[in-house]
């Protein structure tokens, strides 16, 4: 039996096979890109929400630890700071550029971007004297305009049974869901 010449056996892939593989890869990548973009924007919203929540808890913890008034200051464009009220020194800070640079943070009521915790963890308005008597919320949403991104909210509620309730929630959920925001 005769063997075919060595030049007749195929090695590697043909140009057509390579083009089909590249075309399939491009189609799959184009289908996945919108999903990936939405997922990335959602992760940035979650990261910023957790940063604000952590900052509030840190400020309250520092106030209790030091038995002194500590101020939580939110700058929606930059991040947050926990400051010692007595000398305005910065104890800790968190920047939104660290994982969540494309978010918008809005305080409600307007202008309530500063709260003060006293030495036992009670919360006061930014003057440090007037007890907080209403709910403060920080709404975190994407600033990219990408659809399908779930906005989140950080709520400081003085009507909680413990005196101060600080939590994150989802404003889009119905009130019977435990992840929903208080009404």
Give the pLDDT confidence of 66-77 residue by residue, as tens digits: 999 999 999 888
> Which pLDDT does position 8 carry in this prediction?
59
Work out the pLDDT band at 122, boundaries 50, 70, 90. confident
Reference 108, options 128, 83, 134, 127; nearest CA is 134
> Which pLDDT does position 77 carry in this prediction?
82
Residues pairing with 70 in the sheet = 84, 117
DSSP 8-state secondary structure symbol assigned to residue 155: E
Q: How many CB atoms lie within 10 A of CB 152?
A: 25
Percentage of the chain modeled with pLDDT above 90: 27
Contact between 90 and 82 (Cβ < 8 Å): yes
């Amino acid at each position: 039996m005769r063997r075919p010449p060595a030049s007749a056996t195929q090695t590697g892939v043909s140009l057509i096979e390579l083009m089909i593989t590249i075309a399939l890869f491009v189609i799959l990548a184009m289908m996945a890109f919108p999903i990936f973009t939405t997922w990335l924007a959602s992760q940035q919203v979650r990261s910023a929400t957790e940063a604000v929540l952590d900052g509030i808890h840190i400020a309250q913890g520092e106030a209790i630890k030091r038995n002194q008034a500590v101020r939580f200051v939110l700058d929606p464009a930059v991040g947050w700071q926990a400051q010692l009220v007595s000398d305005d020194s910065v104890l800790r800070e968190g920047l939104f550029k660290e994982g969540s640079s494309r978010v918008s943070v809005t305080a409600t009521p307007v202008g309530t971007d500063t709260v003060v915790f006293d030495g036992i963890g009670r919360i006061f308005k930014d003057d440090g004297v007037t007890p907080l008597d209403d709910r403060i919320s920080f709404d975190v949403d994407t600033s990219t305009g990408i659809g399908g991104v779930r906005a989140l909210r950080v709520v400081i509620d003085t009507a909680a049974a413990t005196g101060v309730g600080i939590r994150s929630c989802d404003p889009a959920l119905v009130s019977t869901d435990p992840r929903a925001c208080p009404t």
